[in-house]
Amino acid sequence: MLSFVNDYSEGAHPAILEVLTRTNLQQEPGYGDDVFCASARDKIRTACADPEADVFFLAGGTQTNQVVIDSLLRSYEGVVACVTGHVAQHEAGAIEFTGHKVLTLPQHDGKIDAGELDAYVSGFYGDDNHDHMVFPGMVYVSHPTEYGTLYSLAELEALHEVCSRWHLPLYLDGARLGYGLVTPGTDVTLPDVARLTDAFYIGGTKVGALIGEAVVFPREGMPEHFLTMVKQHGALLAKGRVLGIQFDALFTDDLYTRIACNAIECAEVLRAALDERGYRYLVPNRTNQVLVVLEDERLAELKRSVAVSFWERVDETHTAVRFATSWATRMEDVEALIQLL
């Protein structure tokens, strides 16, 4: 049975396990005060070209979104997000759990539009009754988005400009950032992300780590007493080394982007085959999530040999599914999949 069901089906890149094993009995302080976290922070600062960046390691994506958003918002503010954003749809209300509303904007292939954001905020302050409404307090984007699409540099710069003008922190969910950074045609680099946002995270769980996300607050932007807020959210690991070791390995010799390339190469080969056979995409993209529209009969047949993710019903007889590749995908499995298509 082949599986393209998601990008977190395997463990970690072997280089990570090697370091975990090699350093296992080294005694280190807890809560992120260990040498591995320190080293990983330095390497991430370098990769971001921001020597002043604050870096904090957390365990998972929803947790990271919850903690970062709650720590950046005042109590009467909400987070502006795309209607299809992860925080709006697939986090079981983790944002609302902390008392904040997710204020939604329309999606354009999974992205929000800077002009629409500006119009929304402008309309908010133009409304006589806005004191009775949730204030927009920050902006959330994901890159790649839920549909595997990417912001262009111009789009990110436009969002940055609008956010700066309205004093709204811009936060970027990079659960799959590694894949986005090496996607053909993208003009957005990690230093761009650091320069144009106020907070973002570099996803580990889906890009080679066992668990872990590296939160970056560019320009010393970490909220005061962030560690205490992390603890209060139940998100502080005693053995911070587990996260530090992984990101230290991932940011040594460009491992993070190198392994991301495997996912993209596999996806490109798959897409070429799909294109050739005339398949249609739900939303075209060139990252590691291939969203294909299939006839239901065809899908039923395929599922006998391949595990995929249901994405959404398209019409009476068609369904969109996701083929996800990852750092761990074997090209031979892609070829086997292509045979089946």
Restricting to residues 174-203, name those near a copy of itself by CB under 8 A: none
Minimum CB–partner distance for residue 305 and a copy of itself (Å)? 14
DSSP 111: B
d(CA 300, CA 321): 12
Minimum CB–partner distance for residue 229 and a copy of itself (Å)? 5
Among 138, 242, 292, 334, contact with a copy of itself (rule: CB under 8 A): 242
CB under 8 A: which stretch of 17-25, 44-52, 161-169, 285-293 binds a copy of itself?
17-25
Among 167, 185, 238, 339, contact with a copy of itself (rule: CB under 8 A): 238
Q: Are 306 and 2 in contact (CB under 8 A)?
A: yes
**Residue numbers 134-163 binding a copy of itself by CB under 8 A:** 134-135
Cβ atoms within 10 A of the Cβ of 18, count?
A: 12
Q: Please, which residue, 62 or 107, has the CB nearer to a copy of itself?
A: 62
Cβ atoms within 10 A of the Cβ of 189, count?
A: 14
**The residue to which tokens 């911070």 are assigned:** 240
Minimum CB–partner distance for residue 194 and a copy of itself (Å)? 24
Minimum CB–partner distance for residue 46 and a copy of itself (Å)? 26
d(CA 68, CA 113): 22
CB under 8 A: which stretch of 159-167, 237-245, 261-269, 286-294 binds a copy of itself?
237-245
Minimum CB–partner distance for residue 174 and a copy of itself (Å)? 15
281 binds a copy of itself (CB under 8 A): no
227 binds a copy of itself (CB under 8 A): yes
Number of residues that bind a copy of itself (CB under 8 A): 77
Nearest 5°: phi and psi at 134?
-75, 125
Contacts of residue 125, defined as CB under 8 A and 6 or more positions apart, other chains included, come to none
**Residue numbers 23-42 binding a copy of itself by CB under 8 A:** 23-30
Among 15, 42, 49, 63, contact with a copy of itself (rule: CB under 8 A): 63
d(CA 108, CA 140): 15
45 binds a copy of itself (CB under 8 A): no
Closest CA to 327 of 273, 250, 217: 250
d(CA 22, CA 272): 41
Q: What is the largest CA-CA distance in the chain?
A: 63
d(CA 259, CA 111): 26
**Residue numbers 80-139 binding a copy of itself by CB under 8 A:** 89-94, 96-102, 127-129, 131-135
